[in-house]
Amino acid sequence: MDHRDTIAALSTAPGTGAIAVLRISGPDVLPIMASIAPALPESVAPRHAYFTDFNDADGIVDEGVVTVFKGPHSYTGEDVAELSVHGSPYVQQRLLEAVLKAGARSALPGEFTQRAFLNRKLDLSQAEAVADLIASQSAAQHRLAMSQLRGGFGQRIEELRQQLIDFSALIELELDFAEEDVQFAQRVELLALLDRISDLCKELIDSFRYGNAVKQGIPVAIVGAPNSGKSTLLNALLQEDRAIVSDIPGTTRDTVEEVLTIGGVLFRFIDTAGLRQTSDTVERLGIDRSYKKAAEASLVVLLGDASMISEGALRTEASMLAQRIGGVPQVIPVLNKCDVPGVVTSKDMLSISARDGKGLDALKRAFVDHVQAMRTGPGDIVVTNARHVDALTKARAALLDAKQAIDLGKSGELLATDLRRAQHHLGEITGKITPDDLLGSIFGRFCIGK
């Protein structure tokens, strides 16, 4: 892949729409525009929109608007042209073919953003945030992606990495004067720096549980005895009939998953088979899958029929369920069917009527409160990328090794090696250390045109 040629791609989703945008980037942007839009003035003003005809060898393809951005003041850091034309698939394809015949080549997935990274318009963590921003489906996902896109995370990592580099330079200098037994790097100051960076790495690693959950959608498993109202609750939350509702116990034999945004956060709700003793092989498989889904969830709603079970018994079941599925998911006991005559519940228990919607607002607040309680970490910096967690984990291990080397009075060579390892792994986050296969993996997941 040659980064010196000119690339082109449609930047809007496939299909018919009001307009479509075609993006071109590279050194031959202006000659290509002169070829397909001959009515443009010879000297095109940067960032100025021109209404013009677009032609190919057979004549006029369409009329639309073109804006030219001169490098380095563009998204990619190169000369860029963005053409807005009518959204006919025929027009889009014909115009793209004209651009390719005029000297461009088809862009690979993520190649525009990769060029922005290579031309230092974005660091690698910001480039990855572009993909997250495009994929965002909720306010929380959008907020995290925008925070990372603004560069605060990468800037903080790079500042700490530079401090490590400065101390490493002093350690390396000591090695040149080993025979004179001098110390240029103050070990007390270095230990304090290692503690600060190590603590930050741990806080960032811990924030991944929240960041990843928000990015992927908070998984909420709805479990309980047959006919306790799990499917009715799911339908009530979604405000439409997605799950089968029946008075016959054991109707749901497989898990049903739906997504819903509450308080700006995307939740993935999982309606599961009813938990009970059964000899039915198919239902048994569904129940086993229910426990598996509950163990994989972030939050578990244990639903009980208020006319059939007491608050105390439901709390006991919640405790037993939490032990069975492990300590990660939080189990919330919820009494359903509180509208049944004669049912009395206390203020300490979440009580709802899935059928008429009573208590659903309080339940939704409990969902949002659970997400807020998950959030840890320094300020607004939240890690959402598994690659970043891996790099932070390796960097922290190297920092702890360096601290141990100082405590044990090990040689400067070993200390310098540990510091270089930490710098390397921190550099992987921002792209200061970027093997080609890593770049291919990251940008290959982008859409074409971005």
* Mean pLDDT, residues 405-427 taken together: 85
Tell me whether the omega of the peptide bond preceding residue 89 falls within 30 degrees of 0, making it cis: no
pLDDT at 243 over 50: no
Q: How many CB atoms lie within 10 A of CB 265?
A: 21
Q: State which H helix or E strand residue 221 sits in.
A: strand 218-224
310-319 pLDDT, tens digit each: 899 999 988 8
- Dist CA 376 CA 434 (whole Å): 29
What pLDDT is recorded for position 440? 63
The terminus-to-terminus CA distance of the chain in angstroms comes to 16
Closest CA to 299 of 241, 203, 223: 223
pLDDT at 154 over 90: no
* Residues near 140 by beta carbon (within 8 Å), at least 6 away in sequence: 214, 264, 265, 266, 371
Task: Give Dmax over CA atoms of the chain in angstroms.
Answer: 90
For the chain, state the CA radius of gyration.
29
For 21, half-sphere exposure in the C-beta direction (CA atoms, 13 angstrom radius) is 12
Give the position of tokens 């001169």.
70
Q: How many CB atoms lie within 10 A of CB 92?
A: 24
pLDDT at 231 over 70: yes
Closest CA to 171 of 425, 417, 422, 433: 417
- Dist CA 68 CA 125 (whole Å): 27
Closest CA to 259 of 224, 215, 220: 220
Counts for the chain of helices (H) and strands (E), in that order: 14, 12
Mean residue pLDDT of the chain comes to: 83
* Residues near 171 by beta carbon (within 8 Å), at least 6 away in sequence: 184, 185, 412, 415, 416, 419
In which band, very low, low, confident or very high, does the pLDDT at 253 lie, cut at 50, 70 and 90? Answer: very low
What pLDDT is recorded for position 191? 87
Structure tokens at 408: 């044990």
- Dist CA 432 CA 250 (whole Å): 56
| 167 vs 242 pLDDT, higher one | 167
356-401 pLDDT, tens digit each: 889 999 999 999 999 888 876 555 678 888 888 999 999 999 999 9
In which band, very low, low, confident or very high, does the pLDDT at 298 lie, cut at 50, 70 and 90? Answer: confident
168-210 pLDDT, tens digit each: 777 777 665 555 555 555 778 888 889 999 998 998 898 888 8
What pLDDT is recorded for position 245? 40
What pLDDT is recorded for position 246? 39
Structure tokens at 15: 């299909």
What pLDDT is recorded for position 445? 64
- Dist CA 373 CA 246 (whole Å): 35
What pLDDT is recorded for position 82? 96
What pLDDT is recorded for position 248? 39
- Dist CA 161 CA 47 (whole Å): 37
For the ranges 146-150, 152-156, 360-364, the one whose mean pLDDT is highest: 360-364
Closest CA to 399 of 143, 199, 121, 188: 199
Q: List C-alpha distances in Å: 269 to 140, 174, 221, 233, 294.
A: 17, 59, 6, 10, 11
| 337 vs 439 pLDDT, higher one | 337
- Strands 17-25, 7-10: pairing kind: antiparallel
- Strands 330-336, 299-305: pairing kind: parallel
- Contact indicator for 329, 292 with CB cutoff of 8 Å: no
Structure tokens at 263: 């308080």
Query: Domains along the chain?
Result: 7-121 (3.30.1360.120), 130-212+385-430 (1.20.120.430), 217-374 (3.40.50.300)
pLDDT at 69 over 50: yes
- Sheet with 256-262: strands ordered across: 256-262, 265-271, 218-224, 299-305, 330-336, 350-351
Q: How many CB atoms lie within 10 A of CB 255?
A: 16
Structure tokens at 53: 């005809």
- Contact indicator for 301, 332 with CB cutoff of 8 Å: yes
What pLDDT is recorded for position 175? 65
